[in-house]
Amino acid sequence: MTVFKPASSNPSFQNSIEDRLQIKRLLEPTLIISTNAGSDVVKGLTQRPKTLPPRYFYDDRGSELFEQICELPEYYLTRTETKILQSYASEIAAITGACEIVELGSGSSTKTRILLDAYQKQGLPLHYLPIDVSAGMLESSALSLLADYPSLQVYALAGTYELALAEIEPKQLPNRMICFIGSTLGNLNPQECDVFLSQVKAALQVGEYFLLGVDLQKPKHILEAAYNDNQGVTAAFNLNMLEHLNWRYEGNFDTSQFAHWAFYNELEHQIEMHLKSKRSQTVELRTLKLNVHFEPGETIHTEISRKFDLNRIQQELKTKGLVPQKVWTDENQMFGLLLCQLQDKG
Ligand code: AVI
């Protein structure tokens, strides 16, 4: 594990932030994705139906496209969760009191500012522990936050959620709150979700908090529009996974020969994203010594995005000892924000 201090060309700025920023790399970024050297890709592309792990969405271009998705008129999720946070952040701060804010998949930390503002207004100390696979993203967003919040301390962890939750430092404030917002929980299947919630539970002490944002079930046309936007940004995000594989594993996917396909599976309550082959074609991934044949219309399943029922998710959290203390939604019940407290470790 390596710890590094950020680079800055301004010496006075550097001194002030050096004391307030620590970034630990739990794993080199290249290893994060290639610990199994692409065996997940080989496995996914040699089974039927074909699949690819959603983590391959997030190279630099994919992360940029995801930021653009969050701004789309059809993609109501980010806007709606932001509004809920704006309305209730001061209540969250009042409930938790002095509290370290741990954020899983912090990305650009935009929504974090709403929480930091609320804690600052109540005169509470600001300790922020962002966790993300991208050390570059952690550094740039931390530097921007540190410039805007003079009393903020940042202890960033670059690594997977699993590693970071297991490695988290003993806390310096009375309480801790793990935040998992943006409905990223929906990208985990039920088994992965169960494992993830156990990891959250293991990282918390009794009395500590878990703040969860989830997208709720709603009419199909609203959901399908959110994943089939008019500007084609979601399509570009989906297709970019193939470009990422081309770069990472010396592949020759021709993205013009695949189409984005997203629909709402009402039985499973999930959006499913696929890439559909437009013709018969064979693709090579040289580094993986893999040739993959596609029939016309054959698909690769790239993502699920589960949509939750507020009562059921509360029950599930309770069975993990994570007891919802407050549940907030927007006026149209599109999105839910749950503040849970760990009540038993058993
Ligand atoms: C990151 N995650 C919550 C997004 C979602 O809505 O499931 C990823 C995404 N996929 C397509 N659009 C956005």
DSSP calls for 19-40: TTEEEEESS-HHHHHHTTTTHH
Question: Which residue in this structure is represented by tokens 């999930």?
Answer: 270
Q: Classify residue 102 as exposed, middle or buried by CB count within 10 Å of its CB (0-12, 13-18, 19+).
A: buried
Rounded Cα distance, 267 and 306, in Å: 11
pLDDT in the model for residue 4:
52
Q: Is the CB of 187 under 6 A from ligand 1?
A: yes
Per-block mean pLDDT, blocks of 10 residues, the chain (346 long): 50 64 77 66 97 93 94 98 98 98 87 96 97 87 94 93 88 95 97 97 96 98 98 98 97 98 98 98 97 98 98 97 98 98 92
Cβ of 62 less than 6 Å from ligand 1: no
Nearest to 160 by CA among 319, 33, 344, 329: 33
305: Cβ below 6 Å to ligand 1? yes
| Residue 135 pLDDT | 83
Q: Which residues contact 166 (CB under 8 A, 6 or more apart)?
A: 199, 202, 203
Q: Assess contact for 126 and 120: CB atoms under 8 A.
A: yes
Q: Are strands 322-329 and 335-342 parallel, antiparallel or unpaired?
A: antiparallel
Q: Which pTM does this prediction carry?
A: 0.93
Q: 88 CB under 6 A from ligand 1?
A: no
For the beta sheet containing 299-306, the strands, ordered from the edge strand earlier in sequence to the opposite edge, are: 50-51, 299-306, 270-277, 258-265
Distance CA 285, CA 290 (A): 5
Q: How far is the centre of ligand 1, averaged over its atoms, from the C-alpha of 55 (Å)?
A: 11
pLDDT of 170: 86
Structure tokens belonging to residue 292: 């993959």
Give residue 50 CA to ligand 1 midpoint distance, Å: 20
Q: What spacing in Å lies between the alpha carbon of 305 and ligand 1's midpoint? A: 7
Both tokens of 169, joined, read 């430092």
**Element housing 18 (H / E):** helix 11-18
